[in-house]
Amino acid sequence: MATFPFTIFILVSLAVFLGILRLTLRRRPEQLCRSKLAAVAFVVVVLGMIFAKWGANFGLGWIVYYGAPAAVTLFMPPIAFRMGGREVLEYVLMASANAPIIHVVFSVFLGWHEYMPFIPIPSIWGDGAIF
């Protein structure tokens, strides 16, 4: 995958992830400390996606290069923000839907299939891609 699309994937994923955290923690605004949100989002999204790309490029099985970031995504924020039961449920549902939804949108509308390459989604552009 070229650097430009990967950077776009990261930025979109980061924005969506921050939205998920803000929505989950809306009842406890004291937990919305910008530096804590930024640190958790950096680890979960940026480092997670870099690890996944690295793992895919160097032949790790998808269960490892998606599994490790998925585990960090599911467990780090609830622990870091000391989420209660309802918050954990909301967070896990939204966070679990995040990657597949982004994959479908990028695959269908931009023809970028690299986000989750093991789940083939056709593009409205055929085999071509935007950019």
Q: Which residues constitute the domain of residue 15?
A: 3-82
Distance in angstroms (rounded) separating the CA atoms of residues 77 and 17? 11
Q: Is residue 102 part of a domain?
A: no
Q: What is the pLDDT of residues 1-58, one digit of tens each?
A: 467 788 988 999 999 999 999 999 999 988 889 999 999 999 999 999 999 989 988 9
Q: What is the pLDDT of residues 90-101, one digit of tens each?
A: 999 999 999 888
**What is the count of structural domains for the chain?**
1
DSSP class of 2: -
**Three-class secondary structure of residue 89 per DSSP:** helix
Distance in angstroms (rounded) separating the CA atoms of residues 14 and 18? 6
Q: Is residue 11 part of a domain?
A: yes
Task: Look up the pTM and report it.
Answer: 0.85
Q: Is residue 25 part of a domain?
A: yes
Q: Is residue 98 part of a domain?
A: no
Q: Is residue 108 part of a domain?
A: no
Under a CB-based contact definition with an 8 Å cutoff, are residues 17 and 45 in contact?
A: yes
Q: Is residue 97 part of a domain?
A: no
